[in-house]
Amino acid sequence: MSWLDRQSFLGPDSDQVLQDLTVGLVGLGGGNSHVVQQLAHLGVGGFVLVDDDVISETNLNRLVGGTLEDVLEARPKTEIAKRVVLSVNPEARIACHQAKWQEVAEHLRACDIIIGGVDRIIAKSELEAFCRRFLTPYIDMGMDVHRLGDADEFLVAGQVVLSSPSTPCLRCLGVVTDSALTEEAGQYGDAGGKPQVVWPNGILASTAVGLLVQLFTPWHGRPVRSAYYAYDANQGTMTVSERLGRRASKDCPHFPPDEVGDPRFDIREVVTRAETPIERGTIDTVPLAEPKHRLTALLAMVLDLLPFKVRR
Ligand SMILES: [Zn+2]
């Protein structure tokens, strides 16, 4: 009998697969506070938690696991996420980094997948570029509130995108655009903060977790490499975006095959690190061992890229 018995339908080895996974979560505010909680309940074993911020009073409307006491103590968002995970699974391997992700990028390299809970378009773009470089699948979540005309009516919408090497990227799919980057740069320093609310974040986060499970367990029966779900809270719909269908058969011009991958990648280094025992409990600032799923994913992606090389 295991605490994960009720999810055995995910596949015969799914408990072990999920336990062996290491997930990088960048930004632990609204969306990723749901994601980290769900991953803990799923039995995911490894977490690299990155956020440079502490919880503030205006985060309490949406940060799952955050308390008024945390606000009074100005507790780092990474510490709150760690507490949520350990309260479910004390065996989880957790590396906490209260820093900007660029400062701890070497710790994110070891992750099997990275999930971005970052608001700014430039942050999404840079994080995706990092993931492409190291052949890591990236899931992006985004939520927006738009005023409809002059009326006091608002459209709440969002998207979840799975971006893997050699599949359409955030630029291909129109999530990152030059006009959005320019507009955002013009608003830099605007202290107002984007409107955010808890329930759309929960829906987007659940969709992201579903994609992760589909990616790593045999549950779905159909492997997924690329996805774009569009959420319309006013209509109450989550739909597969037509943008993905339009781009699916085209090569991504933004990350050509010869510009992805780590030129310093050395398989011997991975094997050596994989043999290093992984410490249980919290292991702040200690780099995690390279998970074995990374090797499988790397091999699959290298094989996938070969036809492009031959055609060139
Ligand atoms: Zn692209």
The count of domains in the chain is 1
- Ranking 78-87, 253-262, 270-279, 283-292 by mean pLDDT, the lowest is 283-292
Identify the band that residue 138 occupies on the pLDDT scale cut at 50, 70 and 90. very high
pLDDT digits (tens, 9 = 90+) for 146-200: 988 877 899 999 999 999 988 999 999 999 999 999 999 888 655 567 889 999 9
- Residue 295: pLDDT over 60: no
pLDDT (average), residues 101-120: 95
**CATH code, domain carrying 249:** 3.40.50.720
Cα(163) to centroid(ligand 1), Å? 9
Please state, in angstroms and rounded to a whole number, the distance separating the CA atoms of residues 115 and 123: 12
The confidence score (pLDDT) of residue 292 equals 46
Please state, in angstroms and rounded to a whole number, the distance separating the CA atoms of residues 18 and 88: 15
The confidence score (pLDDT) of residue 268 equals 61
- Please state, in angstroms and as integers, the Cα–Cα distance from residue 37 to each residue in 28, 30, 93, 295, following that order: 11, 12, 14, 27
- The angle formed by the CA atoms of residues 206, 211 and 214, to the nearest 5 degrees, is 125
pLDDT (average), residues 127-138: 95
Please state, in angstroms and rounded to a whole number, the distance separating the CA atoms of residues 237 and 202: 14
Cα(171) to centroid(ligand 1), Å? 5
Cα(85) to centroid(ligand 1), Å? 34
The confidence score (pLDDT) of residue 300 equals 53
The confidence score (pLDDT) of residue 263 equals 61
Q: What are phi and psi of 185, to 5 degrees?
A: -60, -35
Helix or strand holding residue 95 (H, E): strand 93-97
pLDDT digits (tens, 9 = 90+) for 299-309: 555 555 544 43
The confidence score (pLDDT) of residue 289 equals 42
Cα(301) to centroid(ligand 1), Å? 16
pLDDT (average), residues 80-85: 98
pLDDT digits (tens, 9 = 90+) for 197-249: 999 999 999 999 999 999 999 999 988 999 999 999 999 999 999 999 888 88
- Provide the terminal-to-terminal Cα distance of the chain, rounded to the nearest Å: 53
Identify the band that residue 254 occupies on the pLDDT scale cut at 50, 70 and 90. very high
Cα(225) to centroid(ligand 1), Å? 14
In DSSP terms, 203 is beta-bridged to: none
* Residue 175 or residue 287, greater confidence: 175
Cα(178) to centroid(ligand 1), Å? 13
Cα(62) to centroid(ligand 1), Å? 32
Ligand 1 ion: Cβ-proximal residues, 5 Å cutoff: 169, 171-172, 252, 254
Cα(247) to centroid(ligand 1), Å? 9
The confidence score (pLDDT) of residue 283 equals 42
Cα(169) to centroid(ligand 1), Å? 4
Cα(130) to centroid(ligand 1), Å? 14
- DSSP reduced 3-state for 145: strand
Q: Which pTM does this prediction carry? A: 0.85
- Residue 264: pLDDT over 90: no
Cα(24) to centroid(ligand 1), Å? 22
Cα(167) to centroid(ligand 1), Å? 8
The range of the structural domain enclosing residue 224 comes to 5-311
The confidence score (pLDDT) of residue 260 equals 73
In DSSP terms, 229 is beta-bridged to: 160, 240
Cα(156) to centroid(ligand 1), Å? 26
Cα(142) to centroid(ligand 1), Å? 18
- Residue 279: pLDDT over 50: no
The confidence score (pLDDT) of residue 306 equals 47
For the chain, what is the total number of helices (H) and then of strands (E)?
A: 11, 8
Please state, in angstroms and rounded to a whole number, the distance separating the CA atoms of residues 238 and 264: 40
Cα(176) to centroid(ligand 1), Å? 10
Cα(277) to centroid(ligand 1), Å? 38
The confidence score (pLDDT) of residue 148 equals 87
The confidence score (pLDDT) of residue 182 equals 93
The confidence score (pLDDT) of residue 245 equals 86
Cα(299) to centroid(ligand 1), Å? 22
Cα(104) to centroid(ligand 1), Å? 25
Please state, in angstroms and rounded to a whole number, the distance separating the CA atoms of residues 56 and 63: 10
Please state, in angstroms and rounded to a whole number, the distance separating the CA atoms of residues 201 and 230: 13
Cα(80) to centroid(ligand 1), Å? 35
Cα(173) to centroid(ligand 1), Å? 7
pLDDT digits (tens, 9 = 90+) for 29-82: 999 999 999 999 999 999 999 999 999 999 999 999 999 999 999 999 999 999
- Residue 95: pLDDT over 50: yes
